[in-house]
Chains A and B, each alone.
Chain A
Amino acid sequence: MSIEAREARQPWILLSPTLTVITLLLIVPVLFIVVYSFWLRTSVGDVQPGFYLDNWADTLTDRFYRDILLTTLRIAAITTVVCALMGYPAAYFIARAKSNKALLLLLLMLPFWISYIIRTMSWIYILGTNGALNTALQWLGITAEPIQMLYNETTVILGLVHFLLPFMVLNVYVSLDGVDETLEDAAGSLGATKWQSFLQVTLPLSLPGLAAGSLLCFVLGAGTYITPAVLGGPRDAMFANLVYEAIIIQLNWPLGAALSLLLLAVLGALVMIYNHFLGLGQLMKGLG
């Protein structure tokens, strides 16, 4: 075999284990889901194979599903904005820290060592009627009765921000770390104040990281079901909760399949739009 032919084959040989795993564990199951979505659950509860469009008709026309999809996207969007506003200053601080950068990054990663579910549940001990905050308020005499703070949209967003903030900080950090500090010195020497230098130079150069962090936060936020299940009330269900409900509670796999494919399509489209304008390379940089 020629050297060129061997070199051309090499990437495929190196990729083959990963490709095998992805094909077997991701692509094949998704294809199953696609097939399922065209089956039908009969009134007696068993599943009828075939090519029925009933689930898709339900999914795409029922206002209930549409409203929850919009609520999901709205909650994800608010979460993303809050993460960006809170994460950017933190990332800037870490990127410009003269020492202890490694320690600060380690502290940022620390929450990942604890299960996401445990972290979400911990809010119950803080905000619950017998939680730390209510106990403190009553002890201080500010309130007489416990206040109901949990189980609404705000606590869902709070939980999501808690979960997603490190992703935002890391992405923005990577971007900011690559911005040469002498650029700000140069802008300053030319007459720009610190704030003007930031707006003119640092912020535009860090936008790719902000965009990558935002995409991650949005997609992960829109796809979550644990946070609304633990911290939300009955009316705060997000789209992934519908999928969970359809598949686990109602055992209606065909409907659950159609719902999950709709969410996949919407989020996939967002990733495509992002890729078109900014490129996924930046996202990879942030994850690496």
Chain B
Amino acid sequence: MSAVTLSNISKQFGSFTAVEPMSLDIPEGQFVTLLGPSGCGKTTTLRMIAGLLDPTGGEITIKGRRVNDLPIHKRNLGIVFQNYALFPHKTIADNVGFGLRYRNVSKEDAARRVREALELVQLPHVADRYPSALSGGQQQRIALARAIVIEPDVLLLDEPLSALDANLREDMRVELKKIQHRIGVTSIFVTHDQAEALAMSDQIVVMSDGRVEQVGPPEEVYNAPASEFVANFLGASNILPGQCTGRQNGTVVMDTPLFGTVPVPAEKAPNVPGAGAAKLVLRAEKLQLVPKGQADPDQISAEAVVETVDYQGQAVRYFVCSGDTQLQAINMIDTRPFAEGDSVSIQFRPRDCAALPGA
């Protein structure tokens, strides 16, 4: 059974459409991420599921029960807020145990469950402290413990990691996923960080301007983006204009001015029509720079000049110019990077490309 089903839910604020009618089916136990830039409607969608906003249209069901008219306190959801939202006047134990007061749980049972939840988030020793005595990362763990101790039907996470600093964020990402996996709670996670989305999700819902752009597992969304927006939002891509000239041997044959004929795997070009204008999507990580004239003959290549070098340690981001087309390439390096002004060859494998319909 689906844990959460959204049927054509939408949200209007006055004349502004925050979320256009969207439908989504979230199976039990899955970790689903709503990913998109700020203002794309992801938080609005989460708040509608939470019961903090009324949808303008459509229906929300949680475990088969329609919840549109159910107030937040009857939905049995665990919510982790971006700013933690811990009760500053209550101890950690009282914070975590707060939801159990409103459920028929005996005192001893509640104490035990609070203890177990604190152990789960690896903070068993802070029960008697107040939130202000904890670091940001610790507060976020307590917020998570408070949300899961009530055994919610669905766990909603509203950018829970964005207030943490970079290193801590990556640790928490791993830990959050581990805890979610262990207790198996269906989770809906909102973020604007593509790395978080790719690392944690079973399914990613990419949103933009209140519309769902693509729904799929991380590899699919990353490797076979359904739109230019998705291709650029998840990592950097080069989008090259071209023509689709037909299909053969499980490939869609693309003709581009810069690289000539490129056979793109058909599963990475699901929406491209049999013939007509189409765009080639070439990920910056898949475009490789080699010294001029040393291109691999098995790969597709072109000549280019390095314009900008953005050194990042283990990797370098190059902007190169081939003819009058500017391309972006992100290469791992173990020696000296190319310098600005160097003439190079650029190469890629056609199977790493995707294609999109349209001019």
Q: Given A196-B102, A204-B89, is A191 in contact with B83 using a C-beta cutoff of 8 Å?
A: no
Distance between Cα atoms of A272 and B101 in the complex (Å): 37
Looking at the assembled complex, report how far the CB atom of A166 sits from the nearest CB atom of chain B, in whole angstroms.
Answer: 27
Q: Is B336 at the interface (CB under 8 A from chain A)?
A: no
Q: Is A149 at the interface (CB under 8 A from chain B)?
A: no
Inter-chain contact B72/A189, CB cutoff 8 Å: yes
Inter-chain contact A187/B98, CB cutoff 8 Å: yes
Which residues of B, 43-82, contact A by the 8 Å Cβ criterion?
50-52, 71-79, 81
Inter-chain contact A186/B81, CB cutoff 8 Å: yes
Looking at the assembled complex, report how far the CB atom of A99 sits from the nearest CB atom of chain B, in whole angstroms.
Answer: 13
Chain A residues within an 8 Å CB radius of B147:
189
Interface-centre pick from B77, B85, B98, B146 (highest chain A CB count, 10 A): B85
Interface-centre pick from B73, B76, B86 (highest chain A CB count, 10 A): B73
Inter-chain contact A193/B89, CB cutoff 8 Å: no
Indicate which residue in A180, A183, A189, A204 contacts B73 across the interface (CB closer than 8 Å).
Answer: A189
Which residues of B, 80-103, contact A by the 8 Å Cβ criterion?
81, 83, 85-89, 98-99, 101-103
Closest B residue by C-beta to A179: B88
**Secondary structure at chain A's binding surface: helix, strand, loop or mixed?**
helix
Chain B residues within an 8 Å CB radius of A192:
73, 98, 101-102
Q: Given A185-B52, A205-B89, is A191 in contact with B102 using a C-beta cutoff of 8 Å?
A: yes
Q: Is B244 at the interface (CB under 8 A from chain A)?
A: no
Inter-chain contact B83/A182, CB cutoff 8 Å: yes
Q: Is A201 at the interface (CB under 8 A from chain B)?
A: yes
Q: Given A191-B99, A192-B102, A196-B102, is A186 in contact with B85 using a C-beta cutoff of 8 Å?
A: yes
Distance between Cα atoms of A190 and B152 in the complex (Å): 9
A168-192, CB under 8 A of B: which get 1 and which 0?
A: 0000000000001011011111111
Q: Is B356 at the interface (CB under 8 A from chain A)?
A: no
Distance between Cα atoms of A67 and B86 in the complex (Å): 49
Q: How many residues of A contact B (CB 8 A)?
A: 18
Distance between Cα atoms of A192 and B72 in the complex (Å): 9
Inter-chain contact B146/A180, CB cutoff 8 Å: no
Distance between Cα atoms of A189 and B79 in the complex (Å): 7
Looking at the assembled complex, report how far the CB atom of A158 sits from the nearest CB atom of chain B, in whole angstroms.
Answer: 35
Distance between Cα atoms of A204 and B156 in the complex (Å): 27
Q: How many residues of B contact A (CB 8 A)?
A: 28
Chain A residues within an 8 Å CB radius of B78:
189
Inter-chain contact A201/B73, CB cutoff 8 Å: no
Q: Is B284 at the interface (CB under 8 A from chain A)?
A: no
Distance between Cα atoms of A194 and B77 in the complex (Å): 16
Which residues of A, 63-121, contact B by the 8 Å Cβ criterion?
none
Distance between Cα atoms of A196 and B72 in the complex (Å): 13
Q: Given A189-B73, A189-B78, A190-B150, is A183 in contact with B85 using a C-beta cutoff of 8 Å?
A: yes
Looking at the assembled complex, report how far the CB atom of B133 sits from the nearest CB atom of chain A, in whole angstroms.
Answer: 17
Distance between Cα atoms of A188 and B98 in the complex (Å): 10
Indicate which residue in B72, B77, B81, B150 contacts A182 across the interface (CB closer than 8 Å).
Answer: B81
Distance between Cα atoms of A189 and B103 in the complex (Å): 12
Looking at the assembled complex, report how far the CB atom of A198 sits from the nearest CB atom of chain B, in whole angstroms.
Answer: 12
Q: Given A185-B52, A201-B87, is A190 in contact with B98 using a C-beta cutoff of 8 Å?
A: yes
Which residues of A, 146-181, contact B by the 8 Å Cβ criterion?
180
Chain A residues within an 8 Å CB radius of B101:
191-192
Chain B residues within an 8 Å CB radius of A201:
87
Chain A residues within an 8 Å CB radius of B102:
190-192, 196
Looking at the assembled complex, report how far the CB atom of B69 sits from the nearest CB atom of chain A, in whole angstroms.
Answer: 15
Inter-chain contact A180/B83, CB cutoff 8 Å: yes
Distance between Cα atoms of A191 and B101 in the complex (Å): 8
Q: Spell out A's residues near B (CB within 8 Å).
A: 180, 182-183, 185-194, 196, 200-201, 204-205
Q: List 6 A-B contacts (CB under 8 A).
A: A185-B50, A185-B52, A189-B156, A191-B73, A200-B87, A205-B89
